[in-house]
Amino acid sequence: MERETLIVVGLGNPGREYAHTRHNVGFEVTDILAERWHAPLNRRKLGGMLAEVNVDGKRVVLCQPQTFMNLSGECVIQLLNWYKCPLENLMVIYDDIDLPVARLRVRKSGSAGTHNGMRSIIANVPGQNFPRIRVGVGAKPQGWDLADWVLSHFQIREEQDAMKDAFSRAADCVEDWIKNGVDHAMTNYNK
């Protein structure tokens, strides 16, 4: 019997100018996982930077799409097709302006909300029934343009520390999902 394949996609924008911005939290979390698993994201394939690793007896494909946020779905559908992976074996990690800074929210399915990367994924894949981890980056301050806000950096030290902790917890959550499934991860990380 072939072992199960799981795909973990962290959303963000490629390029140094976007590194460590609010919109790149998915890249931050997948960087932590790549480091933990000794699986460098250095294979360019299917529109993303990939690493393949064995975790708890499962093949796990780690991906950072290189398509830019608004076209993330183009990379994700290629991954699902190439690995012949069912939708429920896809985990997407992304930023959420509707959650307080550093708050995690794990869901089995749902809409894209205001997130363009998730809109692109849902437009490209067959449905919305895939797990996701939303990482809160805080609401846009009054007077800010939304694009400017999500492409801004975490300026305040307390915010930076809180986000570092959130990235680490999100990585823990991915590992929990791989080992124990989405219900277990939701129970543990939606506190």
Residue 127 contacts residue 90 (beta carbons within 8 Å): no
pLDDT one-digit tens code per residue, 59-111:
999 999 999 999 999 999 999 999 999 999 999 999 999 999 999 999 999 99
Look at residue 3 in the predicted model and tell me its pLDDT: 80
Radius of gyration, CA atoms only, the chain: 15
| Count of structural domains within the chain | 1
pLDDT one-digit tens code per residue, 4-63:
999 999 999 999 999 999 999 999 999 999 999 999 999 999 999 999 999 999 999 999
Report strand pairing: 58-65 vs 48-55: antiparallel
Out of 20, 23, 38, 115, which one is annotated catalytic?
23
- Tell me the Ramachandran region of residue 43: left when phi exceeds 0, alpha when psi lies from -120 to 50, beta otherwise: beta
120: confidence class by pLDDT, cuts 50, 70, 90? very high
| Length of the chain in terms of residues written | 191
Supply the mean pLDDT for the chain.
Answer: 96
- pTM listed for this prediction: 0.97
Question: Measured between alpha carbons, how far apart are the two ends of the chain, in Å?
Answer: 37
Closest CA to 49 of 35, 73, 67, 33: 67
Provide φ and ψ at 132, rounded to 5°: -150, 150
Look at residue 46 in the predicted model and tell me its pLDDT: 97
| CATH number for the domain that contains residue 31 | 3.40.50.1470
Residue 133 contacts residue 104 (beta carbons within 8 Å): yes
Q: What percent of the chain has pLDDT over 90?
A: 97
Domain that includes residue 75, residue range: 5-189
191: confidence class by pLDDT, cuts 50, 70, 90? confident
Look at residue 1 in the predicted model and tell me its pLDDT: 59
Report strand pairing: 90-96 vs 132-136: parallel
| 23 counts as catalytic | yes
pLDDT one-digit tens code per residue, 163-189:
999 999 999 999 999 999 999 999 999
Q: How far apart are CA 47 and CA 13, in angstroms?
A: 12
